[in-house]
Amino acid sequence: MKEAHRLLGEFTDDQLRQMPIMPVGSRLEQDATYINLADPQRQEFKATSGMEAQPGSLLVPKSEVDYQLWNRLRGVTDPARTGAVQGT
Q: pLDDT of 49-73, one tens digit each? A: 999 999 999 999 999 999 999 998 8
Residue 44 forms part of a structural domain? yes
Q: How would you label 75-84 residue by residue, b for 16+ Cβ within 10 Å and e otherwise?
A: eeeeeeebee
Look up the pTM and report it: 0.82
What's the structural domain count of the chain? 1
Residue 88 forms part of a structural domain? no
**Full domain range(s) for residue 15:** 2-74
Residue 24 forms part of a structural domain? yes
Sheet with 33-36: strands ordered across: 44-46, 33-36, 59-61
Q: pLDDT of 25-39, one tens digit each? A: 999 999 999 999 999
Residue 58 forms part of a structural domain? yes
